[in-house]
């Protein structure tokens, strides 16, 4: 499969389908050939759905040929993180302990994408129980960041999804984001990742980590592609009560409006502390680009960020929630779990019920306060991660090294989850070692339209999203 086709955007593939230059069946078959050739070394997929994919591709091709067009996603292949229920396949959540956890039905997100005519190629690897920002999995194996021949962190926990899109194995892959699990792999793999506000997209049928913080989002090659997938996924689902009462809001009509007159700020509180100089330089330069497009770019402090960062029980909140789902595995099969994941989960038992309630109330208060703080600001600019990808060997040499790197990948993203921001990570540079750097554009809760609008304007003014890894070593 030619690299030009492998790295094509959803929008371009859709256009070529309708012109007759390409067909859903042809693209699906070509992607499977590419997966067969490259994935033994990249390790993005845990399972492939060949029969289902080819049946969906044939149905899409026939429908388009007869004038039955379901929209811009019709016939487009994609992958889903192995937290998403897919009928007939196990949802393993990154552990062999769930090998028999076979889904009886597709989850809500997969159903909606099927209704839009998309073609499911398979399921991608994740960190065990989705509990980690580095992307390492000692059970099923760690996906290989395609930007380096030597194994580097792919970012977690949507590690396989990030690698699949970055390596041209799928034009889109679904991830989940509890503390950064869409945006971190997007940043480390040089692609786009959309973190949606909790309540925008149903999580029904998605293996949970945190009921308060889990969100669904796509990893794509372009901002437009992320917006197209978001449009198909958003909406009320009574199987996820977080979505009930959230008014519908589409994003495509504002996507290309530009940023002239929009107020954008570098969020100086915490987010830039101890950031790698190459990362900071690239992110600051992105602000100059947006200012050149007519945005009003300034700097500001955000006191609520410092308060959220100072709360020492933040990590324990997610750990405690994870125990509700995974506590029995910890009690009965701890030796079979990744020791770092097991230790992080077990820490949740130190959180008292009163502490849980107190921190929950603090988060609710911070979310109200930060909206007031940002009342005159449309979007914030921060580094997605403090550092680019680092070698797996260096990260995994000790629990202390893992913990240090995990913090550097999760800090800036997890604060956004606590404050209920939505956000987009887009490529904004490359380090001296040839590794991608991510810019995170935060917007206020439920303002995905603004986050995507700013991201699209930046993307159109730069060429970072067109850079591709040399993965000839994986062939």
Cβ 441 vs Cβ 379: under 8 Å: yes
Surface-to-core class of residue 372, CB atoms within 10 Å of its CB (0-12 exposed, 13-18 middle, 19+ buried): exposed
Cβ 188 vs Cβ 153: under 8 Å: yes
Active site residues: 81, 157, 181
Q: Which two tokens stand for residue 438?
A: 């991510």
CA distances 387 to 308, 309, 431, 438, Å, are: 21, 18, 10, 9
Q: How far is 309 from 451, CA to CA, in rounded Å?
A: 23
Q: What is the structure's pLDDT at 248?
A: 85
Residue showing tokens 């921060």: 382
Q: Which two tokens stand for residue 175?
A: 């991830």
Q: What is the structure's pLDDT at 312?
A: 86
In the chain, where the domains are located: 3-474
pTM of the model: 0.98
User: Using one digit for the tens of pLDDT, what is the confidence trace for 175-208?
Assistant: 999 999 999 999 999 999 999 999 999 999 999 9
Q: How far is 366 from 192, CA to CA, in rounded Å?
A: 28
Cβ 415 vs Cβ 270: under 8 Å: yes
Q: CATH homologous superfamily of domain 3-474?
A: Amidase signature (AS) domain (3.90.1300.10)
H or E segment to which residue 263 belongs: strand 263-267
Q: What is the structure's pLDDT at 150?
A: 97
Positions of the chain with pLDDT under 50: none
Name beta bridge partners: 300. 267
Q: What is the structure's pLDDT at 2?
A: 67
Dihedral angle sign, alpha carbons of residues 416, 422, 427, 429 = negative
Phi, psi dihedral angles at 379 (to 5 degrees): -155, 155
Q: Which two tokens stand for residue 114?
A: 């099927």
Q: How far is 359 from 314, CA to CA, in rounded Å?
A: 8
**Distant-in-sequence, close-in-space partners of 3: CB < 8 Å, separation ≥ 6:** 168, 468
């Amino acid at each position: 499969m030619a690299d030009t086709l492998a790295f094509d955007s959803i929008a371009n593939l859709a256009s070529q389908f309708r012109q007759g230059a390409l067909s859903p069946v042809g693209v699906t078959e070509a992607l499977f050939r590419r997966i067969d050739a490259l994935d033994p070394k990249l390790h993005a997929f845990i399972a492939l759905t060949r029969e289902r994919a080819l049946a969906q591709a044939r149905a899409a091709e026939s429908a388009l040929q007869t004038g039955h067009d379901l929209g811009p996603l019709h016939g487009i292949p994609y992958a889903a993180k192995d937290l998403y229920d897919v009928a007939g396949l196990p949802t393993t959540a990154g552990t062999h302990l769930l090998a028999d956890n076979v889904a009886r039905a597709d989850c809500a997100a997969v159903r909606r994408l099927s209704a839009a005519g998309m073609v499911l190629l398979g399921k991608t690897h994740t960190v065990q129980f989705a509990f980690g920002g580095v992307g390492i999995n000692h059970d099923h194996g760690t996906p290989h960041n395609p930007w380096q021949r030597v194994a580097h962190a792919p970012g977690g926990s949507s590690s396989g999804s990030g690698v699949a899109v970055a390596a041209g194995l799928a034009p889109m892959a679904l991830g989940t984001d509890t503390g950064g699990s869409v945006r971190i792999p997007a940043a480390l793999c040089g692609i786009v990742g959309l973190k949606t506000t909790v309540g925008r997209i149903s999580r029904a049928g998605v293996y949970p980590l945190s009921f308060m913080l889990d969100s669904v989002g796509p990893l794509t090659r372009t901002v437009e592609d992320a917006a197209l997938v978001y449009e198909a996924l958003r909406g009320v689902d009574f199987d996820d009560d977080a979505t009930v009462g959230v008014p519908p809001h589409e994003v495509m009509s504002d996507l290309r409006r530009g940023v002239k007159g929009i107020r954008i700020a570098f969020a100086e509180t915490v987010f830039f502390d101890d950031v790698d100089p190459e990362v900071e330089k690239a992110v600051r330069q992105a602000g100059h680009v947006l200012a050149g497009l007519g945005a009003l770019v300034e700097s500001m402090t955000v006191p609520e960020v410092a308060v959220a960062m100072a709360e020492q029980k933040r990590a324990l909140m997610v750990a405690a929630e994870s125990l509700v789902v995974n506590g029995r595995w910890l009690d009965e099969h701890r030796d079979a779990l990744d020791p770092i994941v097991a230790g992080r989960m077990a820490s949740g038992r130190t959180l008292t019920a009163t502490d849980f309630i107190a921190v929950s109330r603090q988060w609710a208060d911070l979310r109200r306060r930060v909206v007031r703080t940002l009342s005159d600001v449309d979007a914030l600019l921060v580094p997605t991660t403090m550092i680019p990808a680092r070698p797996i060997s260096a990260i995994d040499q000790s629990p202390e090294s893992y913990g240090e790197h995990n913090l550097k990948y999760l800090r800036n993203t997890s604060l956004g989850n606590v404050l209920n921001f939505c956000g987009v990570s887009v490529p904004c540079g490359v380090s001296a070692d040839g590794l991608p750097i991510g810019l995170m554009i935060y917007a206020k809760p439920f303002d995905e339209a603004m986050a995507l609008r700013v991201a699209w304007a930046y993307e159109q003014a730069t060429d970072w999203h067109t850079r591709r890894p040399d993965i000839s070593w994986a062939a």
